[in-house]
């Protein structure tokens, strides 16, 4: 009898940001499949379980192992940081099952994705429409990524950039955004959100590249839209209430 696969979002790193359902699924699982770094994030939940780890770029290996273990009757937890649907393990696992005509019970356990975790550290930059774009060109051509960046900038979306590890591609992306936004547009740079050595920086489109040494695989960048501003050190993207209400009068009434 086939088992079950939980594809789990472990959140940004701090155990306080795990969901109750994630903890329940981990408890029910007897096999855990994870990228080595993600296994470290949940190491306190691994006692008594078979733990299978893989390196970066071995996502398909992780998916294959999880499916085979489930077919053997195990309950398997496949770990993603953040949310498993957002550049995580949900898609490759489901795609591999579909391609091989395998139908195993699967439950996706949502988690706090990096854009939301990073935005919370900055204030409220994602209060209105926003776009999330990965700058990793391992699977998606750079030209396609830059096309998406341009369309998001044209649409005046707040833009959250994941995986800004390719510095030349990052620079090109920020140059495109700068064509549509003023130099003072707020930019948040968050390194290691909710993990050790966390750094939170609020800068702008003119000066963001002064912090290039803070940008790596575990950095999220959030670029404000035309209305985003900074007050009391926090990035704020207005929801539009001021078009109908006066905050001062509302507070003093």
Q: What is the CATH number of the domain that holds 49?
A: 3.40.1010.10
Does a structural domain hold residue 250? no
Cα 111 to chain centroid, rounded: 10
Structure pTM? Answer: 0.92
Q: What is the pLDDT of residue 249?
A: 79
Question: In this structure, are 173 and 197 located in the same domain?
Answer: yes
Q: Which domain-ending residue is among 112, 147, 169?
A: 112
pLDDT band for position 241 (cuts 50, 70, 90): confident
pLDDT digits (tens, 9 = 90+) for 194-229: 998 999 999 999 999 999 999 998 999 999 999 999
pLDDT digits (tens, 9 = 90+) for 28-40: 999 999 999 999 9
Q: How many domains does the chain have?
A: 2
Question: In this structure, are 166 and 63 located in the same domain?
Answer: no
The long-range contacts involving 57-63, CB below 8 angstroms and separated by at least 24 positions, are: 57/138, 59/89, 59/92, 60/92, 60/96, 62/33, 62/34, 62/35, 62/89, 62/92, 62/93, 63/89, 63/92, 63/93, 63/95, 63/96
Angle, vertex CA 77, rays to CA 75 and CA 78, nearest 5: 135
- 154: domain range? 115-236
Question: In this structure, are 126 and 228 located in the same domain?
Answer: yes
pLDDT digits (tens, 9 = 90+) for 75-123: 999 999 999 999 999 999 999 999 999 999 999 999 999 999 999 999 9
């Amino acid at each position: 009898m086939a088992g079950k696969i939980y594809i789990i979002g472990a959140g940004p790193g701090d155990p306080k940001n795990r969901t109750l359902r994630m903890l329940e699924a981990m408890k029910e699982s007897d096999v855990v499949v994870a990228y080595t770094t993600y296994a470290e994030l949940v190491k306190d939940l691994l006692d008594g379980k078979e733990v299978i780890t893989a390196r970066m770029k071995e996502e398909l290996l992780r998916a294959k192992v999880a499916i085979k273990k489930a077919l053997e009757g195990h309950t398997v937890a496949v770990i993603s940081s953040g949310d498993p649907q957002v550049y995580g393990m949900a898609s490759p696992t489901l795609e591999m099952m579909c391609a091989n005509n395998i139908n195993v019970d699967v439950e996706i356990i949502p988690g706090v994705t990096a854009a939301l975790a990073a935005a919370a550290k900055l204030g409220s930059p994602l209060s209105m429409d926003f776009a999330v774009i990965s700058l990793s060109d391992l699977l998606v051509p750079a030209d396609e990524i830059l096309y998406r960046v341009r369309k998001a900038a044209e649409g005046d979306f707040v833009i959250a950039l994941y995986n800004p590890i390719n510095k030349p591609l990052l620079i090109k992306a920020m140059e495109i955004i700068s064509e549509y936004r003023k130099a003072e547009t707020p930019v948040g740079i968050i390194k290691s959100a909710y993990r050790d050595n966390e750094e939170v920086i609020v800068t702008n489109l003119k000066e963001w590249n002064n912090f290039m040494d803070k940008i790596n695989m575990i950095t999220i960048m959030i670029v404000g839209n035309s209305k985003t501003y900074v007050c009391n050190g926090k990035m704020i993207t207005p929801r539009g209430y001021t078009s109908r209400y006066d905050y001062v009068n509302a507070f003093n009434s």
